Structure 1
Amino acid sequence: MKSFFISEILLLSQKEKKAKKVLFDRRRTIILGKNNTGKSSLIKSIYWAFGAEPVLHPNFKEANVTVLLKFEVSGKKYEIFRDGKTYTLFDSENQNLIKTFNSVTRELAPYFSNVFNFKPLFQSRNNDFVIPPPSFLFLPFYIDQDNSWNKSWSSFNQLQYLKDPRPSLILYHSGTRPNEYYQTKKELEVFLRRIDELEKERKITNNILSQMQKDFAQVDFNIDINIFKNEVKELLVQCELLKKSEEKLKYTLRDLYSIKATIESQIEIVKLSLVESNSDLEFISKELSSYVDCPTCGAHYENSFAERFDIANDSERCKDLLIELLRDLKEVNDKIDKENSILLKTLEESKIIENILEQRKGELKFKDVIDNYGKNELRSVFSKRIDVLNKDLVENSIKKKELSDQLKGLEDKDRKKEIVEYYQLTLKKFLRYLDVHSIKEESYSSLTNIIENTETGSSRPRALIAYYFAFFYLMAKYSTTTFCPIVIDSPNQQDQDIEHIDKIMNFISDNQPENSQMILGVAELYNMEFNGKIIELNEKYSLLQKDEYDFVNLEMRPYFEKTWLKFM
């Protein structure tokens, strides 16, 4: 199992001229702050950097915060930089850019599946088998203050991306179904679909052959062209509608390409200005005298610090403008890609209709050929096709059997029994420690049972924290993916009395799994000695601070430039 540690996070709002930098302890960090001081926003920023989507505060969204997160996976150090919907991954050793991503599901998730060894294949709502986004990796490790104290496995938005994700995630993260299980299942699905297609084709071919033989035995084979005229007319109408849609899309694309050309021209102008500013600064810096002659016109100019500063300031403004223009260009390109995708689909649909029209004509010719060659030739053609289908079905069925046996071996009954028994014993012990006695053992006889439905009031949060920690221990022992930092936000829920608050805090402190990292968000310390680094937040309604803006902005500037100016 891989290990994952977070070392540092930087938050920057160029809009509000505020920032925040936090260093995390490798073992345990306490985020201490009263309500509305931003501790939850700080915690959620960790996941937001990876494209996971927790419930963010509207003020955080309004501030247009850019995040830089530094982390380590099994000794390999990385940095991820998120600016809007653009994600850039860096090698932390030398800040080399590894890759830029513009889509979480299509780009970031497949890449991180290798980094984190997170390779389940779950069925999406489109019935495709996909590697889920990073939120599905972090889900069992994050206990948020908004949803997790009432309902387990619910810390992020957009979990509806998959069909009924909870059971599948539990079986994966518990180690009941390892990574290899899903790869085998994907291969098996290919053969199942192929067998289904072959059987359908064989059935249709058999039916056609039987019906043809009956028809030939009774009457001559004649075609009524009027039957096809109505169908052809209907298809032509559909084709005309698609062509009108295609013309409308082309006009939209023409306007977008015009805007793109304008922005690209502006970028070139700013680039030239930036090059000239840098050249001027380099030239004037080489001169040691108080005055300097212009190399172009020979004019006499003062060579003061103020003059150099103005040129340097112009260079920085050019870079900022260039970044803004590149963002605008990306937005226009995204719109162009979207319209082109719609146009391509329209063209494909139009092509399908044209092919159907040709096929109708082709059927007439084919039937003429059938009439010429006779029923014996027809029987031979269909019989040969059935023989081929039978052979393909046998070969695919053999491979299906091999993969089915392999899949059963990966979901070993003895291993599953061992995992369930370990989970039950661990959860039972934790429930007793946290003074939860009303949950019957049959309520957690299965890994996928929902235990919170059996508890109400102040007992429910304690039952849930026992459940979460039982699962932490289960993942540490059996899971095949990466063990992520444990993040717990606001564990004092439902007005716990002093005795139970002490139990909860002592439980969290004493039962953190070995070799794991924990980030704990609390409103107060409750006289507990947590033996970890404390990050205290004091200012209400402002996680980001004005006095941190300049140095955080300076530290993050190379990441902006490498993300947006890499094509200069």
Structure 2
Amino acid sequence: MNEMYFESILIADIYKHTARFQNFERGMNIITSTDNHVGKSSLIKSLYYALGAEVEYDTVWDVNTKLFVVNFIACGKRYIVARFQKNFIVFEEGKLILLTNNVSRDLAEAYEKIFSFSIYLPNKSTKKTELASPVFSFMPYYIDQDRGWNGLYNSFLKLDQYKKDDREKSLYFHLNIYDKHRVERLAEKDRLQGEIDVLKEKEEKLKITIDSLSQEVQHLIPADTITELETNLKIPKEKISILVAQIGEVRNKVQELETILQQHEYQLNIVKEYHKIKQNSNFQRNVALQECPRCGYVFEDELYDMVRSNYNVNNEDYMCQQIQLIINSITEELNTYKEKYVSLMDELGKTEKVFDGSQDSYDVYVKQRGLEKSMRNFTSQLNRNMEEQLKRNEEIKKIKKELRKLPNKKEVESKYVELVRFNIMKLGAWDSSYEGNIKLTKPIKAQGTLESKIILAQYVGLFQTMEYFKSKAIRFPFIVDSPRAKEASYISSKEIIKMIFEINSLPQIILATVDFQDYENDVKCKFCKTVLTEQKRLLNTETYDKYRKTIEDFIELLKSL
């Protein structure tokens, strides 16, 4: 198993000429005190800071005046990394291998070789997959005193060059679910899908254009020469004459039927009104002129007799039935002719578009040839577009098939959920609302004193999952700074420390906590303890004098950048 652990750190203020040298052992290391403001947090913050991560120091700690030098073992080799401001030196087995002020490229590439591990993420701006800064390798291995207990993997600064979802997916690298190749293939799949989406938009526009051109082309007579066009145009011209004559005949028939229909409707109305008046008690048959008491309609008996003679019927009810049958027959015939009239007018309109006497034959010919050429051009573009989409879809299928052969993400996440759930219960912090909400890339949150337990349970769950699946990713030191004011009880603090001490899959744990002597008797494993006693005296002149030559040599090299 690849592993990395710190052997020592040297911190020197080059202006005040004060320094601190601290040794560490592989395994458990405790930095403790009986009071605050002795420098526990500043000491352990400086470990990953020296390696290129950004952390939040107290305002009284001027990081720009300080040199940081760490010695560590990685994959069986000894390394030294020195940092002053933005400048870095890296030694491998005593040999200088890097002098740079570029963390995201030079230092990251050096660490990729040293740790045989790296994280690749899609850049938020360029969308291209790139080697991420070293901080993302260290992200799940550090809990800051203030920031770390208020949000999972929230301890480091300056992580915004990548989207939050992508930052959290960096955890997949520690579990061997992702590697550089997989991320590149995922990014390639996303790129291809993006291109397909663009092609689909173009496809829709091309279809609309081709449909519009089709409407235009269907009104033009095809011809390869002007002479052929002129010959072909005679056909619609003759057709127009025939259509106009047919339309005239149909229009005359419609007018004739409408006149007959009006006459029968009028006569039917006379019979109905006469019948109503006759039924009225005030009706007198010998009066020549009658007025309807309801509607005021006035008509003569002679008019009624005339209508009756037309239908040769004396009974008014039967007469109404016969007239209505005639009206229905005429209406049906009239509708047929109206439909025929509309159809002929539509055909005439289309034929007139084909033959426009106002246009020169040459103009018609040019328009026809131009539209046909455009149709062929856009149709060809559409075919190529469909081929490009098909090609990209085939490539996406290949990528998906390839990715299915890699570690099963669902299986890994399922185990992670199981382990985190158990850890939360073990810490006495379980709540039914957590059920179904534990996810590797979407941390669950709690409030108050329970939040520290929930966060620790997820960190430990990640380490346990790595161990369960025998992840080949390098193990880094787990650095934990106890929460400043989160735990209200001795029992809670004891439970947290106990769980940290039970982690056995990591090469090194460095825990900073106050009053460790209160819990020391309950610890069953071996540990190295450092007790800090003087407030605001983490660095001192005696240590600076002892390491003066080393400090000055590093500063000279680093300032050369």
- Which TM bucket (shorter chain)? 0.5 to 0.7
Structure with the higher helix share, 1 or 2: 1
Tell me by how many angstroms 1:486 deviates: 0.7
Change (3 A) 1:97 1:170: closer
Tell me by how many angstroms 1:381 deviates: 4.8
Change (3 A) 1:550 1:206: farther
Find the partner of 1:394 among 383, 390, 393.
Answer: 390
Tell me if 1:502 matches 2:497.
no
Q: Tell me the residue number matched to 2:510.
A: 519
Q: Secondary structure at the match of 2:454?
A: helix
Q: Tell me the residue number matched to 1:230.
A: none
Contact 1:20 1:548 in 2 (8 A): yes
**In 1, Cα distance between the equivalents of 2:467 and 2:476?**
10
Tell me by how many angstroms 1:100 deviates: 1.7
**In 2, Cα distance between the equivalents of 1:515 and 1:170?**
16
**In 2, Cα distance between the equivalents of 1:532 and 1:108?**
32
TM (normalized to structure 1)? 0.63
CA deviations on 1:120-150 (whole Å, 9 max, x unpaired) are: 4245266444443222222211111102223
Tell me if 1:533 matches 2:534.
no
**In 1, Cα distance between the equivalents of 2:430 and 2:390?**
57
Tell me by how many angstroms 1:445 deviates: 4.6
Tell me by how many angstroms 1:25 deviates: 0.6
Change (3 A) 1:514 1:446: closer
Q: Tell me the residue number matched to 2:50.
A: 49
1:172-321 alignment to 2 at 5 Å?
A: 172-177=173-178, 179-204=180-205
**In 2, Cα distance between the equivalents of 1:178 and 1:154?**
23
**In 1, Cα distance between the equivalents of 2:457 and 2:22?**
29
Q: Tell me the residue number matched to 2:298.
A: none
Structure 1 or 2, whichever has the larger Rg, is 2
Q: Tell me the residue number matched to 1:162.
A: 162
Contact 1:97 1:562 in 2 (8 A): no
Q: Tell me the residue number matched to 1:422.
A: 415
Identity %: 23
Q: Secondary structure at the match of 2:65?
A: coil
Contact 2:64 2:85 in 1 (8 A): no
Tell me if 1:105 matches 2:104.
yes
Give the stretch that moved more between structures: 112-121 or 26-35: 112-121
CA deviations on 1:93-125 (whole Å, 9 max, x unpaired) are: 1232335242x3344335534544123424526
**In 2, Cα distance between the equivalents of 1:218 and 1:99?**
76
Find the partner of 1:559 among 547, 554, 560.
Answer: 554
Tell me by how many angstroms 1:55 deviates: 1.1
**In 2, Cα distance between the equivalents of 1:535 and 1:65?**
22
Contact 2:151 2:445 in 1 (8 A): yes
Contact 1:29 1:520 in 2 (8 A): yes
Contact 1:492 1:501 in 2 (8 A): no
Q: Tell me the residue number matched to 2:23.
A: 23
Q: Tell me the residue number matched to 1:347.
A: none
Q: Tell me the residue number matched to 2:67.
A: 66
Q: Tell me the residue number matched to 1:8.
A: 8
Give the stretch that moved more between structures: 399-408 or 109-118: 109-118
Contact 1:109 1:132 in 2 (8 A): yes
Give the stretch that moved more between structures: 161-170 or 24-33: 161-170
Find the partner of 1:488 among 466, 480, 492.
Answer: 480
Q: Give the root-mean-square deviation of aligned CA atoms.
A: 3.4
**In 2, Cα distance between the equivalents of 1:180 and 1:54?**
30
**In 2, Cα distance between the equivalents of 1:124 and 1:429?**
36
> Which structure 1 residue ranges, 5 or more long, are not aligned?
220-369
**In 2, Cα distance between the equivalents of 1:543 and 1:408?**
53
Aligned partner letter, 2:162: L
Tell me if 1:436 matches 2:437.
no
Aligned partner letter, 2:486: Q
**In 2, Cα distance between the equivalents of 1:452 and 1:375?**
65
TM (normalized to structure 2)? 0.64
Q: Tell me the residue number matched to 2:263.
A: none
Tell me if 1:465 matches 2:456.
yes
Aligned partner letter, 2:461: A
Aligned partner letter, 2:410: K
Aligned partner letter, 2:108: A
Tell me by how many angstroms 1:155 deviates: 0.8
Change (3 A) 1:441 1:197: closer
Change (3 A) 1:20 1:95: farther
Aligned partner letter, 1:6: F
Change (3 A) 1:64 1:215: farther
Q: Secondary structure at the match of 1:28?
A: strand
Tell me by how many angstroms 1:451 deviates: 3.5
**In 2, Cα distance between the equivalents of 1:499 and 1:384?**
76
**In 2, Cα distance between the equivalents of 1:416 and 1:464?**
22
Change (3 A) 1:112 1:94: closer
Q: Tell me the residue number matched to 1:406.
A: 402
Contact 1:32 1:39 in 2 (8 A): yes
Tell me if 1:447 matches 2:440.
yes
Contact 1:109 1:134 in 2 (8 A): yes
Q: Secondary structure at the match of 1:31?
A: strand
Q: Tell me the residue number matched to 2:152.
A: 152
Tell me by how many angstroms 1:378 deviates: 5.0
Contact 1:70 1:77 in 2 (8 A): yes
**In 2, Cα distance between the equivalents of 1:24 and 1:420?**
34
Q: Secondary structure at the match of 1:121?
A: strand
Aligned partner letter, 1:112: Y
Tell me by how many angstroms 1:505 deviates: 2.8
Q: Tell me the residue number matched to 2:88.
A: 87
Tell me by how many angstroms 1:7 deviates: 1.6
